[in-house]
Amino acid sequence: MSSNARPLEDVTGMAESDNRLFRRISFRIMPILWLVYCFNYLDRTNVAYAHLRMKEDLGFSDAVFGLGASLIFFGLIAFEIPSNIVLARIGLRKTLVRIMILWGLCSASMSLVTTPTEFYILRFMIGMFEAGLVPGVLYYLTLWYPSQRRGQPSAVFYTAPSCAGIVSGPIAGVFMTYLNGFGNFQGWQWLFIMEGLPCVALAFLAYFVLSDSPDKAKWLTVDERRRVQQLIQDGNAKHHTLDRQELLSVLRDPRLWVLGAVGFLMLISLFGLTFWQPTLLKGMGLTVMQVGLYSVVPSLCGVVASVIIARHSDATGERCWHYILCALTAASGLLLTTLFPTNTVLTLLCLCVTWTGLTSAYAMLWTLPGRVFAGKVAATCLAIITVIHGSAGIVGPYGLALLKTATGGFTISLYTGSALLVASTLLFYPFFRHRSAYQLKETH
């Protein structure tokens, strides 16, 4: 009896020891990675608030702003793969230093912009320099966590943009209101400076706190390093290499392209609203500070709703109708927003409905690729879907700018965003209406 109990005790003790080890690893690396992604989102979207003053000071048209907002995604897509090739050779620490110093300086340099050409060049360069950050971090997590432990740190990492979206408005409002005119700089210039330069300091902090891999982590004991590497190697041994024949099979699966296209249609509205919501609110007579504070409410509603809806979906195992209802909720919110062009409270409520649907729909969409494709095909599928989704960032801000310029307001733009969300549900339903379409499937 005792001989049988002993191995069970050993297994339990080893599991507890592993849990402590990975908690220690998470406390070491995740706060830095989270902060990096948080500042990345702030630097990518601060132009939406800066435009409230730039338009008056520099005379930029909505089309100029929309194109500049979109150009960052051209840089991202063009340099995503080269950046990751370099990362594999030199490690994450040096890559983060390069990415954060260059993007931080470029973001701060936005304060010196005086012409549309300068605006375009710097926006493209910010995208170019930050390219590879997110896939680089996801690759980095594979070096530290076995596959069965990778979900939680990945989820924590992805909360950074949502949290940054909540604080970005108030931060912009404070800088643009209380620093306006200080040191002969306008408030929008201080916004770029105060959110860009900290990235340089954060780059050096990341370099000294992080380690490129477990075997180089001096803050772990020799036994701990060996244990982490052993667990990761055991997990990797379960997966095969993706060969040419299987790649062709994946590319012929229509669900791959549907997931990409559905996200593309939905993200046109999401990216467009991200960059144009401050302008929409300011057009109702609000001050910059009020715009920043009011923007917190829709973002907070979206974060809370996405967590609640994701839990309900996990509990029921249903994905299709969860996505469809969330997307239709966002479409309804956009339509309702057009009905109250002068009523701030009702417009804000409509934006809350919109962000509740948008954020939840996007979170729901990303639950599917890992269930449709798993194991050796997952990385290839995620890369393809990510590129298709990122293309929406090129279309959304600039497309809405052109519509606003042509029509003189946001009404047609909001109608268009609503129609695209409805179209995404019509495309989604035929392929995922049955649960068998998103049952976990792994190719051997």
Supply the range of the domain harboring residue 59: 13-238
> Would you say residue 7 lies in a domain?
no
Whether 189 and 254 map to the same domain: the answer is: no
User: Which is higher by pLDDT, 217 or 441?
Assistant: 217
Q: How many structural domains comprise the chain? A: 2
Task: Note the pTM of the prediction, 2 decimals.
Answer: 0.78
Whether 269 and 300 map to the same domain: the answer is: yes
Last residue within a domain, chosen from 212, 238, 264: 238
**String of b and e for 326-336 (b: at least 16 CB within 10 Å)?**
bbbbbbbbbbb
Q: What is the pLDDT of residue 375?
A: 55
Whether 228 and 348 map to the same domain: the answer is: no
In terms of C-beta density within 10 A (0-12 exposed, 13-18 middle, 19 or more buried), how is residue 404 classed? buried
CA 261-40-87 angle, 5° bins: 80
Q: What is the pLDDT of residue 239?
A: 46
Q: State the average pLDDT over residues 100-128.
A: 93
- Read off the tokens for 261: 């296209």
In terms of C-beta density within 10 A (0-12 exposed, 13-18 middle, 19 or more buried), how is residue 99 classed? buried
Q: Give the lowest-confidence range in 199-213, 239-253, 403-417.
A: 239-253
In terms of C-beta density within 10 A (0-12 exposed, 13-18 middle, 19 or more buried), how is residue 302 classed? buried
Selection from 290, 281, 426, 423 nearest residue 352 by Cα: 281
- Read off the tokens for 244: 């040419």
- pLDDT tens digits, one per residue of 145-183: 887 777 678 767 877 887 888 888 899 889 999 999 898
User: Which is higher by pLDDT, 74 or 420?
Assistant: 420
Q: What is the pLDDT of residue 377?
A: 61
Tell me how far the alpha carbon of residue 350 is from its chain's centroid. Answer: 23
Whether 287 and 138 map to the same domain: the answer is: no
Q: Give the lowest-confidence range in 237-241, 364-368, 403-407.
A: 237-241
Q: Is the pLDDT of residue 108 over 90?
A: yes
Q: State the average pLDDT over residues 111-125.
A: 93
Last residue within a domain, chosen from 238, 263, 288: 238
Last residue within a domain, chosen from 209, 238, 267: 238
Q: Is the pLDDT of residue 325 over 60?
A: yes
